[in-house]
Amino acid sequence: MVSGPRKSVADLRLFARIGWLAWRSYKSLPRTATALKRLSAERTQHQRSSSVKCARFGGRYFWDFYVPGYPSVAFDRFIERELDRVVPFRDAPPALQIAILGVTKRCPLRCEHCCEWEALNQPDALSLADLQAMVSRFQARGVGQILLTGGEPLQRFDDILTLLGSAERDTDFWLLTSGCGLTAERAERLAKAGLTGVSVSLDHCDRDAHDRFRGREGSYAWVERAAANARNAGLALGLSLCATRTFISRSNLDRYAQLARELGAGFIQILEPKAVGRYAGQDVALNRDQVSLLEEFTLRLNFDPGSRDMPTVAYVESSTRRTRCVAAGDRYAYVDPDGHLHACPFCRTSVGHVLTGALDTGLDALREHGCRAASLRPGRPGTDTPSAGAGIGLGW
C-alpha cells in the first residue's frame, strides 16, 4: 500500500493527468473547469472522501478496485468517459466501463451462495472463439475493465491464456476466482499473457468456516497459495467477501482486514448475500445493524490514518444506497456463461445474446429498464433491505 508523501506525489500526478485529459477533450478553459468540478462532485458522492492510501502493483497505482490502474490507456479512457457523463462531448449514449464475463459453468466447489447453482457443471456453451468474439466486441466499445468469472474460470485455463493473448492490451483484465488451481506456474503465465490482477474469494477469516462455506475442504489453503502466487507473479490482488449474517461482527471484520494485509491484498471487495442461485427463496438480506457495521468498517479502513497499511475496501452496496445502481448497461453489465446479457450477476433477466444480437441494442434495453431486482427492492440508507443491485465506485 502507498500512503503519506508517496501517495501525495501519486495523487498530484493523477490529478495532473485528469486535468490534461479534460483539456484535451474540451479545448476550452471554462468547459474544462466545469467538467473537473462536476467530476469531483460525482466522485465525492460515491466515495465521500479521499482514501488515505492506494495500492501499487506492477508499477501502476490503483485507487479503486473498479477503476483501471494508472498510468494506462484503460485509465485514460475511463476518465474521458466519466468526463463525458458530466459535460458531454460525444454524441453517444453513456459508455460502458466494465464487462463481467462468465467463461464457464464448471467449478470444483459447492459454494453456499453460488449464483450459477442451477447451471453448475453443465457443459460449457461458449467456445474459445465465442469468448474472443465477445471480448473483441466489448473492446471495440472501449470497455476499460473485463472481469472473467464463472463457475471457476481457472477450469478453462488454457482458453483464458489464449483469450488474453489475442485481446488488445488497452484493457485491464481481472480473474474472479476461488483460488483453486492458481499455481505459481499458472500465475506467471497469466501475468505474461496480460492479466492485470486476481480477485480471490475469501468468505471467512476462520479456515474451517471458509471451507464449509465453499463446500470443499482445503479451499482456505488454496486462497493462501493463490494470493502468494499472484503477488509473486506481479499481479494485482484483491479479496472478495460475501458478508453473511453469521460472519458479520466487529471482531471478524478486524481479523479479516489483518489477514488481507498479511496476504498482500490491495483491496477487499464486500458483497451482500442475495436471494438468487443457491440462496433463492431464502431470507439472507442483512439487517440495519449489520449494514452499519460494514459501513463503519469501510470508512475506517479507507479514511482513518491509522489504517494506512490496510487494503482499500470496495463496498458496492453502500455506494448504491447513497447514489444509484450503476449496472444495467450504465457503467457495467454481465454476460452469463451462455452468452446472454444481463443487468448484473444478481438480476437475471436476459435482454439477448451478445453474439447473435446487436450489443448496442441490448445495452440500450438494459439502460431503459434498469436493474429489475434493485427497482423492486430499492435500497435506502438505514433500511433493512439494501438494493439487490451493485454499484461501482469512482475511487481515484
Higher pLDDT, 352 or 373: 352
Give the pLDDT mean for 72-93. Answer: 91
Q: What is the pLDDT of residue 94?
A: 75
pLDDT higher than 50, residue 379: no
Cell triple for residue 215? 463446500
Cβ burial of 157 (10 Å; 0-12, 13-18, 19+) is middle
| Per-range mean pLDDT, top range of 236-250, 267-281, 317-331, 333-347 | 236-250
Stated pTM of the model: 0.90
pLDDT (0 to 100) of residue 387 = 35
pLDDT bracket for residue 381 (50, 70, 90): very low
d(CA 204, CA 366): 34
**Percent of the chain residues topping a pLDDT of 70:** 90
On average, the pLDDT of the chain sits at 88
pLDDT band at 324 (very low <50, low <70, confident <90, very high): low
3-state secondary structure of 3: strand
pLDDT at residue 62 is higher than 70: yes
Query: What pLDDT, on the 0 to 100 scale, is given for residue 323?
Result: 66
Q: Where are the alpha helices (DSSP H) in the chain?
A: 4-26, 29-47, 73-86, 128-140, 157-166, 184-193, 207-214, 219-232, 250-263, 288-303, 316-322, 359-369, 372-376
pLDDT(373) > 50: no
The DSSP 8-state label assigned to residue 311 in this structure reads P
pLDDT exceeds 50 at position 286 = yes
Percentage of the chain exceeding pLDDT 90: 67
Query: CB under 8 Å to 360, separation ≥6 — which residues?
Result: 93
Domains of the chain: 2-86 (no CATH), 98-376 (3.20.20.70)
Distance from the Cα of residue 265 to its chain's centroid: 14
Helix, strand or coil for residue 233? coil
Q: Which residues pair with 270 in a beta bridge?
A: 241, 315
pLDDT given at position 368? 80
- The residue ranking higher by pLDDT, 321 or 12, is 12
State the amino acid at position 177 in one-letter form. Answer: T
Neighbours of 19 (CB within 10 A): 14
Flag whether pLDDT at 380 surpasses 70: no
pLDDT band, residue 378 (cuts 50/70/90):
very low
Residue 15 has pLDDT above 60, yes or no: yes
Is the pLDDT confidence value at 322 over 80? no
